[in-house]
Amino acid sequence: MERILDDEFPYADGILDGKTALVCGASKGIGRATALMLARSGAKVIVCARSEDELDSLIDEMYGKGHLKLRLDLEDIETVQKIIKKLIEKEKIHILVNNAGGPPGGPLLANTINDFDAPFKRHLHAAHTITQILVPIMESEGFGRIVNIISTSVREPIDNIGLSNTLRGAMGSWAKSLSRELEPCITINNILPGFTDTDRLGSLARSISDRTGNSVKSVQDNWMNSVPIQRLISPLETGAAVTWLCLPSSGAVRGISLAVDGGRMRSI
């Protein structure tokens, strides 16, 4: 990780100096890597997650000083609203990264209506609530970047994660709609991660293994056979793509869904 950050990271010249980013779901995986990358670009980063335990070690790893942590349960929308409103009394947020863990896998018809509640709160409802609060700040600052971490299932639904596919599609349409409404100084875009080396992917592989009887290795090998780069993607690679969308020079990129999937998707 240190080698990538120090030797290969293309935005390490403080290009985001003076900008403050709020990164949701930052305790692990893509959220954590994104926080590291944004900090390496010079941004002050506020990292949030349901548990603070892993946020302290994240802040210790981050380049620069002044980074903050925030305990935030994205399913508790009323509390999210209160905490973010209190936050903006002291901080001007220029960058928002909406990121949260996906729902459990399984056939869509096996889900009850109640199964939709928590994932939609954690993703769509929380993202909309936070965005509504932060957009006026971004407008007043003349600069705003909103990036949503969703999934390649926005374009190509993935078998056995029907609830997640439904949720990600809703997020994609929400973002595209907002891209037509936001002020010119604010962009909103989506990142579509592919098979990324995270705990979430490992959990999904074990779930498929339990259901099919195939070994975890055979499940992972089958995935890699569909990926032209033939390897898992590093969360830092995904974090670099998020950071690029947050740069001042990326202001013309608006309302897109950028796949970081190693070429797995067949659609254009």
What is the pLDDT at residue 1?
36
Q: CB-based contacts of 180: which residues, under 8 Å, 6+ apart?
A: 255
Q: Could you give phi then psi for residue 15, rounded to 5 degrees?
A: -65, -15
Range scoring the smallest mean pLDDT among 56-65, 145-154, 201-210: 201-210
What is the pLDDT at residue 201?
65
What is the pLDDT at residue 110?
95
> What is the β-pairing status of strands 68-71 and 44-49?
parallel
Residue 85 pLDDT > 70, yes or no?
A: yes
Mean pLDDT of the chain: 91
Sign of CA dihedral 60, 64, 69, 74: negative
Using alpha carbons, select from 49, 223, 205, 225 the residue that is nearest to residue 122: 49
Range scoring the smallest mean pLDDT among 46-50, 79-83, 198-202: 198-202
For the chain, list the domains and their CATH numbers. 2-197+233-260 (3.40.50.720), 198-232 (no CATH)
Confidence band of 16 (pLDDT split at 50, 70, 90): very high
Q: Which residues of 168-192 are buried (b: 16+ CB within 10 A; e: fewer)?
A: bbbbbebbbebbeebeeebbbbbbb
What is the pLDDT at residue 137?
98
What is the pLDDT at residue 187?
98
- Residues 13-32 have a mean pLDDT of 94
What is the pLDDT at residue 159?
85
Answer yes or no: pTM beyond 0.95: no
Residue 11 pLDDT > 70, yes or no?
A: no
- Gap between the Cα atoms of 192 and 152, Å rounded: 5
- Kindly report, residue by residue over 98-157, the tens digit of the pLDDT: 999 888 888 999 999 999 999 999 999 999 999 999 999 999 999 999 999 999 999 999
- Residues 219-246 have a mean pLDDT of 88
Number of H helices, E strands in the chain: 10, 7
Range ranked top by mean pLDDT from 48-52, 194-198, 200-204, 240-244: 240-244
SS3 of 9, please? coil
